Amino acid sequence: MSHKISTTPSALWIAMTASVLWLSASSSIQAQGDGSRRGGPPLTAKASAPIELTGYWTAVITEDWNLRMLTAPKGDFGTGEASAGIKTPGGDFRPPGNIPYKPAGVEAAMAWNPEKDEAEGNRCKAYGAVGIMRLPTRLHITWQDDNTLKMEAELGMQTRLFHFGPPPRGGQMSFTSGLYIPPEPPKLETPAGLEPTLQGYSVASWTVVGGVGSFERGGSLKVVTTHLKPGYYWKNGMPYTGNAVLTEHFRVMQLPDNSVWIRFTQMVEDPEYLTQPFLINYLFKKLPNESGWNPTPCSVK
Amino acid sequence: MKTTNRFGITGGLLLLSALVSQPAFAQENSPVDLSGTWRWIRYEDVRESQPGAYPGDYMGLPLNDAARMRADTYDEEWISSSPLLQCRPRGPGYQAFALDPMQIDKVEDPLNRRLVAYRVSYQKTPGGRMIWLDGRPQPSAYAQHSWEGFSTGKFKGDTLEITATHLKESYVRRNGVATSFRATVIEQVSLDEPYLDWTFTVIDPDYLTEPLVRSAIYIRAPTLQVPTYPCQSVDDRAPGEKYRVPHYLPGENPYLTEAAFKYKVPLEGVRGGAETLYPDWHSIGMRLSPPSAQYTLKPTYKDESTRIAERAEVQPKHISTYDNVEALHVAGNVYLIGGAGGNIAVSVGGDGVIMVDSGVAAASGKVLAAVHQVAHNLKPEEISNSASPYAGTWQATHAFTEPVIRMIINTNDNAEHVGGNANVRKSAMFDPLRGFEIVAHEMVQNRMIAAKAPDIAVPNNTYFSEKYTLYRFLNNEAVQLFHLANATTDGDSVVVFRRSDVIVAGDVYNSDIYPPIDVDRGGSIDGEIEALNKLVDMSVNEYMSEGGTMIVPGHGWISDAGDVGYYRDMIMVIRDRIQNMIDRGMTMEQVRAAKPTMDYDPLYGRQPGVTNQFVEAVYRSLKEKTTKGNG
């Protein structure tokens, strides 16, 4: 007795086709950039955005309230009491309050002179890229062009620009070696000859995750800002230097009441004044429209 | 058959099998790997973490007035003086602020390696907090609450979103700002190596006017070991010294202006509220001045949260159709049947079913169906592992057949607990132990006879002593009744299933309404407090103020001694407030108008009539005691 398995010539073809389809469906779920498109020009940053950041947003201040909503007294590092820090019996320096300052940072903070700032035309030192995100302000985020995201703050009437570079190659699985090839890091290059400014120069890139299988597509925006002018974390003159590097990760979340929020982490590396990176995170809630938008000039107090 | 086709099929199958074994398949479990050990980084509100926020510091919190009053009257000695709460862990609405190392482990299905959950452990938590990723449903509304709650998670992009429900009452700031057991916590966890961003939002319909969103950061710490936390509670009362709850009477806390004075910010900001979180408040705050000295604040409370009991009073009485009668396991042999008026507990086993209370009459059909379902689905009991001469003999002598109900025990004579007595007795499932058809304290019998209840509904086996132990083990365990004199009535019993370690509390303890103390039927506030003390003394927590002895409340969800401790303390605080008002010569109407329960009404006063009845009962029983004392 003979068994007829198949007489169609397409068995191998079917198997190969199925394999290719499966392979494409199960390709890496994590990619960085995700801006490339097979057989065409790369997608723009605007077109490849995994999260929607445009619109009007308001700061919601639930942490460090006394420091962010109002101007704390000089020398208040977050504890409510002026303090220059403690030298331990072992000779170590323990900074006062919330900021991991070295003695040089504390010394500079204690020298804050708002009248001097006013007289020298430095009213906006607390409104730089680092400080503005901590203030009780609304934000308006729009696309200036296909590869530049613009963030305006009503308080101090400041504008930050996030410049997207060419999309990096995403992570992928090599099915010949069975190894995962991690995504290429984004190219965070700044143009030569930039002068420092309050808002510095910000390079941006998307991280795109999901969108395959059972995982929702999402991701985050990474922004690295350099070329900053010296400024203040808080309005009571807590300083950072012009060498500070600001790295931010922006994400979006939705709560059960349908409110939409930006949640972002801010890391400042400033070796001259800080013992270690200074990390915090902030929250902005989406507004339905521009109602309440109230541009206000900088003030030193 | 052609050779090429054979090769083709074989080759194709080999290729497919090679492909399905690619690691990409496993990656679908989780877009990012959160497992590892983590150390906190905290650069905001450092005083709140160490040594703790000042009393009265509500900056940045969208509180309502009920929450403010609760926190204004909080005395930090309370936690240290309560053995039930000394080892209270943090809930997810605060944990990320704690200076606590954290370990996250993957929990995988051993058969298919699929990621089922993340287990998150901190130093000061009872064990691993499970975050279920397998899509399991929420537990029943009658399921026990815990400090860490029941958590499910789902990846959205690169972010794990966690929803935690079934939380015990907890706090959002360590100066008495409470969160309700109705709160939900939503968390978003995102990884930017080596940092973990943890945003957590408390949604509390009882104490917050809008979601409270805050965040924390951890850094990967691969060599860190999360230490153990052998917290041993201590009762430092002298022999004979009564338990007391340290608290401030409304308007008497001298420390409420301390934060405003020390931070040099206006008191209006320090008192919190949703409006103070938004940019428009900046210009208001800049025009206000901080207090020039500390003083005793006399707050007034007037927002919507202060009128919860009033609104409940005018609600039309909800007529339930008892469509959602459900049964769930408590411990050992014991199950809870909820949704039938008052809670019903059933012990189910080889001896049949022992019902504690019978719910309302209108729900009897569904109650009997639930009893049948629980009993029918039971597995045979294990042979008892005991040196007792009777060990293991009962299973042999009692066949496991169609479920039969052997007796009803009544914890009191309230209609929501005895209403179904007659229907259960008349049902085909009722096959009683002769002479033990309905068991209760004799005052329950007396009051039901006086109320002209039909004979079939009235207890026929009563006791009058402090303790009553049923004549033999039932379902392989002792069943004991304890009379709690003059608690909600003069006939309250709690029923203890000793091997299962379950106490059925009746209306002496309700997890979400005030106790229905009825002074005319012999109830009193002091008796109620004594009863709750007894309940606490009879119970043992498994670890860190939760678990262990399970307590079935008269209404609400399965509880433990920690829950009863909170409830007892709440009642003691209200007792003290009303006593103070009586001492100041206030009338019943004046006491009612002063709203001495206002800060607890969002939790316990949402049903029509309960708050007024409770306040009146406390006033009357204290007033009678004062009058007798003076006489």
Query: Cβ of A215 and B61 within 8 Å?
Result: no
Most A CBs within 10 A among B192, B275, B284, hence the mutation to make, goes to B192
Answer with the residue of higher pLDDT: B164 or A7: B164
What pLDDT was estimated at residue B630? 64
Tokens 């099998």, residue located: B17
Is it true that the peptide bond before B205 is cis, omega within 30 degrees of 0?
A: no
Answer with the residue of higher pLDDT: B142 or B545: B142
Query: Cβ of B22 and A292 within 8 Å?
Result: no
Is A4 inside any structural domain? no
Question: What digits encode the pLDDT tens for the residues A160-204?
Answer: 999 998 766 666 666 666 676 776 766 667 888 899 999 999 999
Nearest to A63 among B19, B23, B44 (CB): B44
Question: What digits encode the pLDDT tens for the residues B268-301?
Answer: 999 999 999 999 999 999 999 999 999 999 999 9
C-alpha A287: how far from chain center: 20
Is residue A10 predicted with pLDDT exceeding 90?
no
Is residue B474 predicted with pLDDT exceeding 70?
yes
Is it true that the peptide bond before A167 is cis, omega within 30 degrees of 0?
A: no
Nearest to B263 among A66, A279, A292 (CB): A66
What pLDDT was estimated at residue B390? 73
ipTM of the complex as predicted? 0.89
Question: What beta strand segments (E) does A105-217 contain?
Answer: 138-145, 148-153, 158-164, 172-174, 179-181, 201-209
- Residue pair B357/B345 in contact (Cβ under 8 Å)? The answer is yes
Which residues of chain B make contact with A27, given a CB cutoff of 8 A?
A: 24
Question: What digits encode the pLDDT tens for the residues B322-360?
Answer: 999 999 999 999 999 999 999 999 999 888 999 999 999
pLDDT band at B180 (very low <50, low <70, confident <90, very high): very high
Give Cβ neighbours of residue A22 (< 8 Å, ≥ 6 apart). Answer: B16, B19, B20
Kind of pairing between the strands at A201-209 and A158-164: parallel
Mean pLDDT for B138-143 is 96
Is residue A26 predicted with pLDDT exceeding 80?
no
Which residues of chain B make contact with A256, given a CB cutoff of 8 A?
A: 184, 186, 203
Closest residue in chain B to residue A301, using alpha carbons only = B286
Which residues of chain B make contact with A208, given a CB cutoff of 8 A?
A: 157
What pLDDT was estimated at residue B558? 98
What pLDDT was estimated at residue B627? 77
Kind of pairing between the strands at B438-441 and B405-409: parallel
Tokens 């405003």, residue located: B260
Nearest to B277 among A4, A60, A259 (CB): A60
Query: Cβ of A214 and B28 within 8 Å?
Result: yes
C-alpha B266: how far from chain center: 37
- The token pair that represents B54 in the structure block: 């000042």
- CA distance, residue B275 to nearest chain A CA (Å): 10
What pLDDT was estimated at residue B321? 85
Using CA atoms, how far apart are residues A74 and A72, in angstroms rounded to an integer? 7
Is A13 inside any structural domain? yes
At residue B222, the 3 state secondary structure works out as coil
Is A1 inside any structural domain? no
Nearest to B19 among A22, A65, A215 (CB): A22
User: Cα-flanking dihedrals φ and ψ of residue A226, to 5°?
Assistant: -130, -170
Question: Which candidate, A204, A152, A198, A196, places its Cα nearest to that of A44?
Answer: A204
Is A295 inside any structural domain? no
Question: Which candidate, B529, B561, B622, places its Cα nearest to that of B242?
Answer: B529
What pLDDT was estimated at residue B20? 44
Cα dihedral angle (A47, A53, A55, A59), rounded to 10 degrees? -170
Answer with the residue of higher pLDDT: B51 or B54: B54
pLDDT band at B487 (very low <50, low <70, confident <90, very high): very high
Is residue B564 predicted with pLDDT exceeding 90?
yes
Question: What beta strand segments (E) does chain A contain?
Answer: 30-32, 55-59, 86-87, 93-94, 138-145, 148-153, 158-164, 172-174, 179-181, 201-209, 218-226, 231-232, 239-240, 245-254, 260-269, 278-287
Choice among A167-171, B316-320, B473-477 with the minimum mean pLDDT: A167-171
What pLDDT was estimated at residue A28? 42
Mean pLDDT for B365-391 is 80
pLDDT band at A205 (very low <50, low <70, confident <90, very high): very high
Choice among A123-132, A250-259, B539-548 with the minimum mean pLDDT: B539-548
Give Cβ neighbours of residue B576 (< 8 Å, ≥ 6 apart). Answer: B245, B247, B249
Is A161 inside any structural domain? yes
Beta bridge partners of A43: none
pLDDT band at A301 (very low <50, low <70, confident <90, very high): confident
Is residue B255 predicted with pLDDT exceeding 80?
yes
Is residue A259 classed exposed, middle or buried when 0-12, 13-18 and 19+ CB atoms within 10 A define those classes?
Answer: middle
Most B CBs within 10 A among A4, A32, A57, A60, hence the mutation to make, goes to A60
Query: Cβ of A78 and B47 within 8 Å?
Result: yes
Most A CBs within 10 A among B34, B43, B61, B203, hence the mutation to make, goes to B43
CA separation, residue B291 to residues B270, B462, B589 (Å): 11, 64, 36
DSSP string, A89-115: TTS-EE--TTS-B-HHHHHHHHT--HH
Is A298 inside any structural domain? no
Is residue B409 classed exposed, middle or buried when 0-12, 13-18 and 19+ CB atoms within 10 A define those classes?
Answer: buried
What pLDDT was estimated at residue B471? 94
Answer with the residue of higher pLDDT: B16 or B157: B157
Which residues of chain B make contact with A217, given a CB cutoff of 8 A?
A: 157
Which domain range does residue A247 map to? 9-287
Which residues of chain A make contact with B11, given a CB cutoff of 8 A?
A: 12, 15
Query: Cβ of A216 and B157 within 8 Å?
Result: yes
Is A275 inside any structural domain? yes
Mean pLDDT for B467-477 is 93
DSSP string, B345-385: EEEEETTEEEEE----GGGHHHHHHHHHHHHHTPPPPPPP-
Is residue A33 predicted with pLDDT exceeding 60?
no
Question: Which candidate, A112, A95, A99, places its Cα nearest to that of A64?
Answer: A99
Query: Cβ of B158 and A27 within 8 Å?
Result: no
Question: What digits encode the pLDDT tens for the residues B549-563?
Answer: 999 999 999 999 999
Q: Is the pTM of this model over 0.80?
A: yes
Number of domains in chain A: 1
pLDDT band at B153 (very low <50, low <70, confident <90, very high): very high
Closest residue in chain B to residue A137, using alpha carbons only = B279
What pLDDT was estimated at residue A211? 73
Nearest to A138 among B12, B263, B279 (CB): B279
Question: What digits encode the pLDDT tens for the residues B409-448?
Answer: 999 999 999 999 999 999 999 999 999 999 999 999 999 9
Answer with the residue of higher pLDDT: A22 or A269: A269
Is residue B383 predicted with pLDDT exceeding 70?
no
Averaged confidence pLDDT in chain B: 91
Nearest to A98 among B12, B46, B186 (CB): B46
Give Cβ neighbours of residue A263 (< 8 Å, ≥ 6 apart). Answer: A250, A251, A252, A253, A281, A282, A283, B188, B197, B199, B213, B215
- Residue pair B84/B567 in contact (Cβ under 8 Å)? The answer is no
**What percent of chain B is predicted at pLDDT more than 70?**
92
Is residue B577 predicted with pLDDT exceeding 60?
yes
Is residue A4 predicted with pLDDT exceeding 50?
no
Is A25 inside any structural domain? yes
Averaged confidence pLDDT in chain A: 84
Most A CBs within 10 A among B185, B277, B288, B294, hence the mutation to make, goes to B277
Using CA atoms, how far apart are residues B563 and B583, in angstroms rounded to an integer? 30
Is residue B621 predicted with pLDDT exceeding 70?
yes
Query: Cβ of A29 and B285 within 8 Å?
Result: no
- Strand-by-strand arrangement of the B344-349 sheet: B326-331, B334-338, B344-349, B352-356, B405-409, B438-441, B461-463
Which residues of chain B make contact with A220, given a CB cutoff of 8 A?
A: 157-158, 190, 192
Mean pLDDT for A51-76 is 95
What pLDDT was estimated at residue B382? 61
What pLDDT was estimated at residue A78? 84
Beta bridge partners of A180: A173
